[in-house]
Amino acid sequence: MTLLTVSKLSKSYDGKNVVNDVSFEFQSGKCIALIGPNGAGKTTILRTLAGLLKPSAGMIRFSGISESDDIRKYIGYLPQYPVFHTWMTGMEFMVYSGRLSYLSEAESKKRAETLLEKVGIIDAKNRRIGKYSGGMKQRLGIAQAIIHKPKLLILDEPVSSLDPFGRREVLTLMKELKEEMTILFSTHILSDAEEISDDLLLLNKGEIVEKGSIIDLRKKYQTSIIMLEFTEDVEKYQGKVNTLTSVRNSFIERDVLHVSVSDFSEAKQEILAIAVKENWPLTSFTLNRASLEDMFMKVVTN
């Protein structure tokens, strides 16, 4: 079921568009990564979805929620740089957050216990937040963002400021939470997106330049490059390779012939068969797979 539809969303600051005519939708129960380089407009989109910024143009629609309703009730949001009252304990902070979300004192305490347990910091509930590690603070931030049982959890760069240990803690928690709720998170690191999300929205300079499920995008962008080295006449063999049916195209770089193929095993058979038959002066045959990472680098360096 579609949870959120964004149509032609734009946002400008001082007349300058930083999000430009962006449209996408996503399904309930999915984990979606909004990925793009620094300054692409990720935070702006997330803050707009969270109801903290007004769009300059376009429409955001949550299924099953009337337009007059305050969408903030249905959204949990963790900003990129969360601010905590470091003198509070984790428990006090959770109860305070629950009260801000209009939960009663008793309900807030109950939810706080459950969530601190869920995010793995229940043992530190009476410790001051100032004594928490980066990973613990981020887990507390996630717990407060879901205290009111939102339909959608939005996390802005949830792991980018953490050390490797903290990153691992938070990524593991996100993997657990995605089984229970819809999560939209931003990142500029493709491997984090590939590790936990179902779908990708790739943003560059305020525009969505690619979107789809990780599985479909991997298929779409996965090509194999076979690199061939010869003792002589690389141009001559390029001409021969280009006539093979499994070969898409080829180029020569530093005397190495790079051959782009769609089906590696078919191409391997074809190339090796003709090389043996004609006794090509081949000295090396290497496979190099292009991947989502190549697609990402290509898009973001444009």
Ligand X SMILES: Nc1ncnc2c1ncn2[C@@H]1O[C@H](COP(=O)(O)OP(=O)(O)OP(=O)(O)O)[C@@H](O)[C@H]1O
Q: Of the two residues 80 and 291, which places its CB atom closer to ligand X in the complex?
A: 80
Tell me the CA distances in angstroms from 272 to 153, 231, 260, 267, one per residue in order.
52, 16, 15, 8
Read off φ and ψ for residue 162, nearest 5 degrees. Answer: -100, 155
In the bound state with ligand X, the residue whose beta carbon lies nearer, of 37 and 120, is 37
| 183, 273 Cβ separation under 8 angstroms | no
- Pick 156 or 194: Cβ nearer ligand X: 156
Provide the binding-site residues for ligand X, judged by CB under 6 A: 13, 18, 36, 38-44, 80, 188
Angle at 221 between CA 215 and CA 225, to 5 degrees: 130
* Closest CB 137 distance from ligand X, rounded Å: 18
Q: How far is the CB of 10 from ligand X (least distance, A)?
A: 12
Query: Please, what is the minimum distance in Å from the beta carbon of residue 188 to ligand X?
Result: 5
Integer Cα distance of 247 and 240 in angstroms: 10
Q: How far is the CB of 124 from ligand X (least distance, A)?
A: 29
Q: What element of type H or E holds 199?
A: strand 199-204
Smallest separation (angstroms) from ligand X to the CB of 22: 12
CA–CA gap between residue 138 and residue 199 (Å, rounded): 23
**Is the Cβ of residue 82 or residue 120 nearer to ligand X in the bound state?**
82
Q: How far apart are alpha carbons 29 and 72 in whole angstroms? A: 18
Closest CB to ligand X among residues 41, 158: 41
Nearer to ligand X, 41 or 55 (CB): 41
For ligand X, give the closer residue by CB, 40 or 145: 40
**Quick one: the chain helix, strand, coil %, rounded to 5?**
40, 30, 30
Distances in Å between the Cα of 248 and the Cα atoms of 125, 155, 216, 258 are: 59, 41, 20, 11
Closest approach of ligand X to the CB of residue 200, in Å: 15
Ramachandran bin of 255, using left for φ above 0, alpha for ψ from -120 to 50, beta for the remaining angles: left
- Least distance between ligand X and beta carbon 204 (Å): 9
Q: What is the longest distance spanned by two Cα atoms in the chain?
A: 82
Q: CB of 50: closest distance to ligand X in angstroms?
A: 13
H/E stretch holding 248: strand 247-253
**CB 222, CB 54: distance < 8 Å:** no
Integer CA distances (angstroms), 117 to 37, 101, 111, 126, 157, in order: 34, 20, 10, 13, 23
Instruction: Decide whether 18 or 154 has the Cβ nearer to ligand X.
Output: 18
